[in-house]
Amino acid sequence: MTVVDETEFEYAGFWVRVGAALIDTVLVLFLTVPLLRMVYGSEYGESERLIQGPADFLISWLLPAIAAIAFWVARGATPGKMAISAQVVDARSGKKPGTGQAIGRYLGYYVSTIPLGLGLIWVAFDPKKQGWHDKLAGTVVIRRKGGGTRPVSFEHAGKDTPR
């Protein structure tokens, strides 16, 4: 049972979430590409290998994962989701996801992506706009109805708390 107050909040749909993902991707690229070029030189990416070395694994795979998980736990949203006034919340309590839940959600991205992205596209057809990663982690992505600019906050009990 989801406790989202559907009079004030709506489930964030496919296209707004695509926009948030694009914002996050650009931010990650602005941070990781210069670091990778510093470590591996300007030839980085010319090899056919998926991972160029240990620093590549840390910079390209581990740091983005840690950043996303940290943002979900601390703020309930990555910068891209903050830009669209959306927040990842626990589907039952309406609160920010815990660390284990956030890790599960991140790992769920791989499950969602492997079958030709079907688990991500699922957001477009699901009544609660959940991708497979959301379903696996027990999360939903919400935002104020009408895409209001005031951030979603559940830090205090009151009218912002989903019921």
pLDDT tens profile 113-150: 999 999 999 999 999 999 999 999 999 999 988 765 55
Give me the half-sphere count of Cα atoms (radius 13 Å) on the Cβ side of residue 25.
Answer: 6
Q: Where are the beta strands (DSSP E) in the chain?
A: 9-11, 86-90, 139-144
Domain holding 142, by residue range, is 9-147
pLDDT band at 155, cuts 50/70/90? very low
DSSP code string of 62-89: IHHHHHHHHHHHHTSS-HHHHHTTEEEE
Q: Do residues 140 and 129 touch, judged by C-beta distance below 8 A?
A: yes
Structural domain contains residue 75: yes
Structural domain contains residue 162: no
CB–CB of 4/95 below 8 Å?
no
Q: Tell me if 51 is assigned to some domain.
A: yes
Tell me if 163 is assigned to some domain.
no
In a domain, 152, yes or no: no
Report if residue 25 sits inside a domain: yes
18, pLDDT greater than 90: yes
153 in a domain, yes or no? no
In this prediction, residue 149 carries a pLDDT of: 53
How many domains does the structure of the chain reveal? 1
**Is 1 inside a domain boundary?**
no
* Mean predicted lDDT score pLDDT of the chain: 88
Residues 59-91 have pLDDT tens digits of 999 999 999 999 999 999 999 999 999 999 999
